[in-house]
Structure 1
Amino acid sequence: MTHLLGAHTFVTGGPASAIDTAEKLGFTAIQIFTKNNNQYFAKDLSEKEINDFKSKLLASNIKFVVSHDSYLINLCSKDPMMLKKSREAFLKELERCEQLGIPYLNFHPGAHGGQGEELGIKLIAESLNIVHQKTKGYKTKSMLEATAGQGTALGYRFEQLRKIIDLVEEPERMSVCIDTAHIFAAGYDIRDSKQYKKVIKEFNDIIGLEKLKCIHMNDSKKELGSRVDRHEHIGKGFIGTEGFTNIMNDKKLERVPKILETPKGKDQKEDLQNIKLLLSLVKK
């Protein structure tokens, strides 16, 4: 089995620097921030930054790139000003991805802040429709990430993700990312092979595996159903190697890029250890 594997990669010297790091580490898939993830906005990308990124990517062994949006963005914020700001920031994130030729913008759906799940879901879809209207013809797809359901965060059930997609006027612009730590914390048990098959069948029945374009490979520091989002190194959390053995040997998920978001230092050596472990789980 040939897997596209990599990790969230730092962009300290601009977007193109992530390609250099990923190449050095032997990644075939990466996730990046196209700007500071703790700010809503950033100065526009220069033509040089765009060209450097594109040319380096083209000359590399990297086959898949996804960008993660700012953690500040909340597409169903209870505060009208914050909602407006989030929509504007998401639009900018989508524009940056399109400029860099990044095919997916991954994002957490949002936290309803006490408004209720139904209204929250409607606001997320409305936000996406507004942004999509302003970005007609864009190739970059909006990628919903399954969440742990911490606080009032939405997207912790497959049904919620489906509802958002159904309310989006251009559903073909939508894709989905499964985060293993998130779905485990949300109550989906992927450790036992029987339970794992049930979870994947449920995802396929509700959303469709054709929408699954990325998997965040993270162990969980918290127990099954805890609804707490805490990432751990592969095999060192409550999912354990059993859950990742199921994923790494699932033919249906073989072509889905798998990206680590586990704790790491600047040299990202921990990512290499985690990748090595994931590859060792593949049955010959």
Structure 2
Amino acid sequence: MLFGAHTSTAGGLHKAFEWGTEFGCESIQIFTKSQLQWKGKEIEPEAIIHWFEAWEEAGEPPVFVHDSYLINLSSPEEELRRKSVDGFVDELERAALLGIPWVNTHPGSHKGSGEERGLEACAKSLKEVLARTEEMGVGILLETTAGQGGDLGAKFEHLGYLIRECNQDDRMGVCVDTCHIFAAGYDFRTPETYAATWKEFEERIGLRYLRAFHLNDSKFELGQHRDRHAAIGKGFIGLSGFKLLATDPRFEGLPGTTELPDEDTPSSIETLKSLRDE
């Protein structure tokens, strides 16, 4: 696995690579605009040139995008669902300008309408997005969630259903957030639980769809449905689970980014590298 971080683009998109170098990143995740905006300002040609120059200078590490937190593709409110589809299309358009192959999103919340209706709404939204962006060469990563409230994506079968409904294998994938799956009740701290979790992933989704990781420890115990990230080895997952991930040959070459405060990022990346390389 190629370890990295979500890095800041304050001062210009290309700044992500400066932070990446400082943190020791082998892979990078970014927002291409404020995560609290529906639509960002247009990316100027000069910014695109600077982006590609910085990417090349950094050694062309894998990069993927995280979308806006406002987007809810599973909303039972049609106006918000439509706005979310438009916002997500914009995210893919921006990624295409920057040559980034994947945009990560949470499946969204059913807001009390129930899992079945929420998943149907999400599938409808995803199919609309795929149809509107078919010439862009950008794919969609569905992120596992902690299952707080009405959030979808805490069960592997949720993501498997959405991928099957979209029926575009080359443009659909999964990003596994380690804190989220742990919060949702998937244990991977021992060889036995690790094997069981990935067996279920293969059965419900398929390992071929796994494209990226968010690598975060958890401030809460297994199955608490609380999304609170901790530095690697400093939470309830501990080093044992991350050692199993870091040395799993099935995940060689996949990007795995932390989502932590800056003060915890370099040490967490170094810990992950040491678990992989020792």
Range into which the TM-score falls when normalised by the shorter chain: over 0.9
Aligned to 2:272: 278
Which of 154, 157, 173 is matched with 1:159 structurally? 157
- Structure 1 counterpart of 2:77: 79
* Secondary structure of 1:154's aligned partner: coil
**For 1:191-270, what aligned pairs fall within 5 Å after superposition?**
191-262=189-260, 264=261, 268-270=262-264
Alignment CA distance shift 1:283-1:53 (3 Å): closer
Q: Tell me the SS of whatever aligns to 1:153.
A: coil
- Counterpart of 1:100? 98
> What amino acid maps onto 1:272 in structure 2?
P
Contact 2:3 2:272 (8 Å CA) reproduced = no
* Residue number among 53, 56, 81 corresponding to 1:55 in the alignment: 53
| TM-score, scaled to structure 1 | 0.94
In terms of mean alpha carbon deviation, does 85-94 or 163-172 score higher? Answer: 163-172
For 1:111, what is the secondary structure of its paired residue? coil
Match of 2:40 in 1: 42
* Equivalences for residues 5-154 of structure 1 within 5 A: 5-154=3-152
Q: Structure 1 171/122 Cα, relative in aligned 2: closer, same or farther at 3 Å?
A: farther
Deviation at residue 235 of structure 1 after TM alignment: 1.1
Following TM superposition, by how much is the alpha carbon of 1:283 offset from its aligned partner in structure 2, in angstroms?
6.1
Q: Is the 8 A contact 2:24 2:269 kept in 1?
A: no
In structure 2, the gaps of 5 or more residues are none
Deviation at 1:130, TM superposition (A): 0.9
Q: Moved runs in structure 1, 4+ residues, more than 6 A?
A: none
Number of residue pairs matched by the alignment: 278
CA 101–206 in structure 1, closer or farther in 2 if over 3 Å, else same: same
Using a 3 Å threshold, how does the CA distance of structure 1 residues 160 and 24 change in structure 2: closer, same or farther? same
Contact kept? 1:28, 1:61, Cα under 8 Å: no
TM-superposed deviation, 1:85: 1.1
Q: Is the 8 A contact 2:217 2:237 kept in 1?
A: yes
Give the residue type in structure 1 aligned to 2:202. N
TM-score, normalised by the number of residues in structure 2 = 0.96
* Identity fraction in percent: 42
Q: Distance in 1 between matches of 2:182 and 2:225?
A: 8
Note the C-alpha offset of 1:84.
1.4
SS of equivalent residue, structure 2 residue 276? coil
Give the secondary-structure state (helix, strand or coil) at the position aligned to 2:196: helix
1:269: Cα distance to partner? Answer: 4.3
Distance (Å, rounded) in 2 between the aligned partners of 1:189 and 1:51? 44
